[in-house]
Amino acid sequence: MTTTTNSCAALIVAGGSGQRFGSPIPKQYLDLAGKPVIRHAVEAFLNHPDIGRVRVVADPAHAAYLRAALEGLDIGNPIDGGATRQDSVLRGLDALAREGDVQRVLIHDAARPLIDADTITRVCRALDEGPAAIAAVRVTDTLKRGDRGRVDGTVSRDGLWRAQTPQGFHFGPLHSAHRAAAGQAMTDDAALAEGAGIPVLLIPGNEDNLKVTTEDDLRRAERLLASPSPVDVRVGNGYDVHRFGPGDHVMLCGVAIPHDQGLEGHSDADVGLHALTDALLGAIGAGDIGQHFPPSDPRWRGAESDQFLKHAVELVQARGGQITHVDVTLICERPKIGPVRSRMAERIAAILGLAVDRVSVKATTSERLGFTGRGEGIAAQATATVVMQTGARP
Ligand code: MG
């Protein structure tokens, strides 16, 4: 990704006076689930890692509403909007150009409060592929042309998309297109880009990213915000066995326990941490411990197994996962686990960066049955629960 946080700016356009809305207060300043509509939109961009700065263009007649709505947010000075949306955007672009160091800009309607982080990401990253990209959703309803309550014909929906915002652009070409087209009244910036011959990519938007135009829209946005985001929970399991051999201690769950035998293995043979590492890898579908740390690799001879577990934790985090709970069961007749169980849980909690009440270590015998019952080795099984981040909204 070549987008840098310094060079990609977001311009939130709140120019409209909202005549279509039955309220004396412009729609973008109305309350939506506890904060103004515009604040939802501005915060989505301020909180996004790909966006370096956020600026707002608004009707100067609404300055008091704007100040109240965005109090405490880092948006610089509001930019005074013009007579039309197009004029307002041009003024915003002029202001960004004066600030300097802007390579890319995302333009977003203040009246789209449900914009999600994933859509912002997709539009930002599409600007690596071309000079312009807009969020849009395919038209799926059958379209009718009609007049005075009667259908005049059916319009093919083939190739039809509904344009949303954000619309993203390489800054220079868009600014030039806007200056050249000043005085027209285009309803979106992509139309100006198209007019200037700039290719525009269609990026899948989100049906929930609605524009609050009517009171029904505001109620629908409220319902969407009230519905819980789907939670993506992954559960992985792991299993491992190591055979007893000569030695004077065993490593179990990161704790050395004096014993009249040791465990054989290419690393420190910590069967508990190995099972747990596999459980974490399983939760994110990232293979198994043997793939990441081949037994044939001399680097891992005698290695402490913490590093295998730490590596799995890093992989989980890199994929946006949060470990919420792990459970390890050790299966052996000896040594006795009870006296060291809480130390094991503390050790695992420290490696995983978890509160100790999110870590369970248990032990059982196998009633003298099987290889663990005969004292030939120790087995361990583990379960890990991982919650994947799905963004503010899916
Ligand atoms: Mg192992």
Q: pLDDT by residue (tens digit) across 120-153?
A: 999 999 999 999 999 999 999 999 999 999 999 9
Question: Are 193 and 261 within one domain?
Answer: no
126: containing domain: 5-226
What's the total number of domains in the chain?
Answer: 2
Task: Please indicate, yes or no, if residue 320 is contained in any of the structural domains.
Answer: yes
Task: Please indicate, yes or no, if residue 375 is contained in any of the structural domains.
Answer: yes
* CA 245 to centroid of ligand 1, rounded, Å: 14
Question: Are 290 and 365 within one domain?
Answer: yes
**CATH classification at residue 350:** 3.30.1330.50
Question: Are 174 and 321 within one domain?
Answer: no
Model confidence, pTM: 0.62
pLDDT digits (tens, 9 = 90+) for 86-120: 999 999 999 999 999 999 999 999 999 999 999 99
Which of 163, 191, 226 terminates a domain? The answer is 226
Which of 226, 256, 276 terminates a domain? The answer is 226
Task: Please indicate, yes or no, if residue 394 is contained in any of the structural domains.
Answer: no
Task: Please indicate, yes or no, if residue 257 is contained in any of the structural domains.
Answer: yes
State residue 305's pLDDT score. 95
State residue 22's pLDDT score. 58
State residue 364's pLDDT score. 97
* CA 359 to centroid of ligand 1, rounded, Å: 20
* CA 272 to centroid of ligand 1, rounded, Å: 8
pLDDT digits (tens, 9 = 90+) for 297-337: 888 888 899 999 999 999 999 888 999 999 999 999 999 99
Residue 62 has pLDDT above 70, yes or no: yes
% of the chain with per-residue pLDDT over 90: 82
Question: Are 13 and 130 within one domain?
Answer: yes
Residue 12 has pLDDT above 90, yes or no: yes
* CA 318 to centroid of ligand 1, rounded, Å: 24
DSSP class of residue 215? H
State residue 15's pLDDT score. 73
State residue 2's pLDDT score. 42
| pLDDT averaged over every residue in the chain | 92
* CA 340 to centroid of ligand 1, rounded, Å: 20
Question: Are 144 and 262 within one domain?
Answer: no
* CA 9 to centroid of ligand 1, rounded, Å: 49
* CA 355 to centroid of ligand 1, rounded, Å: 25
Average pLDDT, integer, range 3-13: 76
Question: Are 241 and 96 within one domain?
Answer: no
Which of 169, 193, 226 terminates a domain? The answer is 226
Question: Are 239 and 299 within one domain?
Answer: yes
State residue 393's pLDDT score. 35
**pLDDT band at residue 35 using 50, 70 and 90 as cut-offs:** very high
Question: Are 220 and 318 within one domain?
Answer: no
State residue 185's pLDDT score. 83
Task: Please indicate, yes or no, if residue 79 is contained in any of the structural domains.
Answer: yes
